[in-house]
Amino acid sequence: MSSSGNTSKGKIVLGVIGYDCHSVGNKILEVFFNEKGFQVINLGVMVSQDEFIDAAIETAADAILVSSLYGHGLIDCQGFRDRCVERGIEDIILYVGGNLVVGKTPFSEVEEKFKRMGFDRVFPPDVDLEEVARLLEQDIHARRNGKH
C-alpha cells in the first residue's frame, strides 16, 4: 500500500458515544492526541456507533477511541465490535474509556465486560493519557505490521 496516512503515528476517530454531551474531555483528548502526532478525526459528542464506523471507513482509520462519561456506556457500546465486523473493518483497534458504568463496580470487572464485547483496551476516567498514547502507538504499529 502507498505511504499515505503513515506519516503520522496513526489515524484515530474520536468521539463521545450515545446521548452523552460531555464535550470538554473530548476537546482535551483531541488536542492531546494531535500533539502526540496522531491524526485525529474528532466527531464530537453524541456520536452513534455507525457514525464512528462511517468515519473510520472513509478515512481508513487505525483506531476508534470511544468516550463515555454519563454511565450508559455499557448499553451504548453493546455490539460495537460486531458492527465493525459486519461493516468490513473487523480488524480496527477499539478503545473505550471514561465513566463507563454507574455505581461502584470494580474497574477490573468493567474492563472484563468491555473486553468481552470486543474492545481492545478499556480505561478508567483517571488514566494517564501518556500511557494511552504509548499503548496506542504500539497497537497501531502492531496492526500495520500484522496486516501487511
Which residues are part of the catalytic machinery? 20, 22
Region from 48-56, 104-112, 118-126, 128-136 binding another protein, contact rule CB under 8 A: 48-56
Of 20 and 120, which CB lies nearer to another protein in the complex structure?
Answer: 20
Position among 2, 24, 104, 148 found at the interface with another protein (CB under 8 A): 2
Beta-strand pair 63-68/11-16: parallel
Of 89 and 127, which CB lies nearer to another protein in the complex structure?
Answer: 89
Contacts of another protein in 54-73 (CB under 8 A): 54-55, 57-61, 70-72
Residue 32 binds another protein (CB under 8 A):
no
Length of the chain: 148
18 CB-near residues (< 8 Å, 6+ apart): 46, 47, 48, 68, 70, 72, 73, 75, 76
Residue 19 binds another protein (CB under 8 A):
yes
Are 42 and 14 in contact, with CB atoms under 8 Å apart?
A: yes
Number of residues engaging another protein in binding (CB under 8 A):
24
Radius of gyration of the chain (CA): 14
Please provide the DSSP assignment of 64-122 as one string.
EEEEE-SSBHHHHHTTHHHHHHHTT-TT-EEEEEES-BSS---HHHHHHHHHHTT-SEE
Nearest approach in angstroms of CB 116 to another protein is: 25
Kindly list the residues in this chain that would bind another protein in the complex (CB under 8 A): 1-2, 4-5, 11, 19, 21, 39, 41, 43, 46, 48, 51, 54-55, 57-61, 70-72, 88
